[in-house]
Structure 1
Amino acid sequence: MSQIRKKPIRATETELKEKVVAINRVAKVVKGGRRFSFSAIVVVGDGNGIVGYGLGKANEVTDAITKGIEDAKKNLIKVPLYKGTVPHEQLGKFGGGFVLIKPAAPGTGVLAGGAMRAVLESAGYSDILAKSKGSSNPHNVVKATVDALEHMRDAIAVSQQRSVKLSKVFNG
């Protein structure tokens, strides 16, 4: 199946909100003792179908978060948003992290765990069911969630790929 080439999304065109998913302290043992450095995984989104994640590393927490935000703005993707939920069920995988995302009825809310919740809320989903299976490492969970959202297809994309009318997609 051929992938449709997506044009990159410019961070300057949209108003993005940032969420820090996890901050990790790393120690390097040197002659004089331990040197600490920090890594931060950050998710940015406009709440209307655009989301991205980034990783920042620095000697200070604030610098790591800033670097993570800059990285996230470079990796933005457009995800399908259908009445506040996803168009269909989807599995996502990255490393040891597996996620399952399902559409939900209006009023359900975002039923998802920590790292997944940050990605889904930043993307703008208001009613969604999500389950994280496998690794609980926030890096893998965020990347698996983005992987699942990247593979989502709305009805318009399906009709274009099959070269049929939109009504035929629903009627079979």
Structure 2
Amino acid sequence: MSTNTSIRKVKTADLELKDRLVSIQRVTKVTKGGRTFSFSAIVVVGDENGIVGFGLGKAGEVTSAISKGIEDAKKNLVKVPIFKGTIPHEQSAKYGGARVFMKPASHGTGVVAGGAMRAVLESVGVTDVLAKSKGSSNPHNLVKATVAALLEMRDAYAVAAVRGVDLNKVFNG
């Protein structure tokens, strides 16, 4: 990932975050005394206004696994550029075996995306986007690939600042 993510880190101080459960799984540890069951939960939190984070929680009970996931997600919040309810440009990313592709859509299209991607995109506040997941459908890797793609997004202001030119020059060549 080429983007410097340390700049986009966000503090949870006065944000009103909504959480979405992406996946919950029962995991088993086999010992000589038998099987020990616990739960693993992937949670995405966001303020639906450009801030999103994901976390993983593991515990013996479902509710405590989810709450641990929410706490973990709040520690990993990042800011993402959103332009009129959609993403600024096409973007693809890969994490593990999961590959994602996202494309901006016109107003009224809605979020056209699969389960794990949909949770991330809705939490970040995207209302119109065309998205496709290719390869693995593993929710862990899909969430990470989607966040990686969102972190590589740059709005016109960021492009103008990097190039050191006026905003109009970005669009008019």
Q: Give the TM interval when normalised to the shorter protein.
A: over 0.9
Q: TM-score, normalised by structure 1?
A: 0.96
Matches of 1:82 and 1:116, distance apart in 2: 18
Residue-pair matches, total: 172
* 3-state SS, counterpart of residue 66 of structure 1: helix
Matches of 2:168 and 2:89, distance apart in 1: 17
The answer for the alignment partner of 1:134 in structure 2 is 135
Render the CA deviation track for 1:69-113: whole Å, top value 9, x for unaligned.
Answer: 001001001011101000100001111110000000110000000
Contact 2:106 2:128 in 1 (8 A): yes
* 3-state SS, counterpart of residue 119 of structure 1: helix
Q: TM-score, normalised by structure 2?
A: 0.95
1:14-163 aligned within 5 A: 14-163=15-164
Matches of 1:139 and 1:54, distance apart in 2: 10
Contact 2:8 2:79 in 1 (8 A): no
* 3-state SS, counterpart of residue 35 of structure 1: strand
**Percent identical across equivalent pairs?**
67
Instruction: Could you tell me which runs of 5 or more consecutive residues in structure 1 were left unpaired when the two chains were aligned.
Output: none
Runs of 4+ that moved beyond 3 A:
1-5
Matches of 1:130 and 1:8, distance apart in 2: 24
Instruction: Could you tell me which runs of 5 or more consecutive residues in structure 2 were left unpaired when the two chains were aligned.
Output: none
* 3-state SS, counterpart of residue 6 of structure 1: helix
* 3-state SS, counterpart of residue 11 of structure 1: coil
Render the CA deviation track for 1:110-159: whole Å, top value 9, x for unaligned.
Answer: 00000000000000000000000011000000000000000000000000
* 3-state SS, counterpart of residue 125 of structure 1: coil
Matches of 1:7 and 1:130, distance apart in 2: 23
The answer for the alignment partner of 1:11 in structure 2 is 12
Matches of 1:160 and 1:3, distance apart in 2: 15
* 3-state SS, counterpart of residue 168 of structure 1: helix
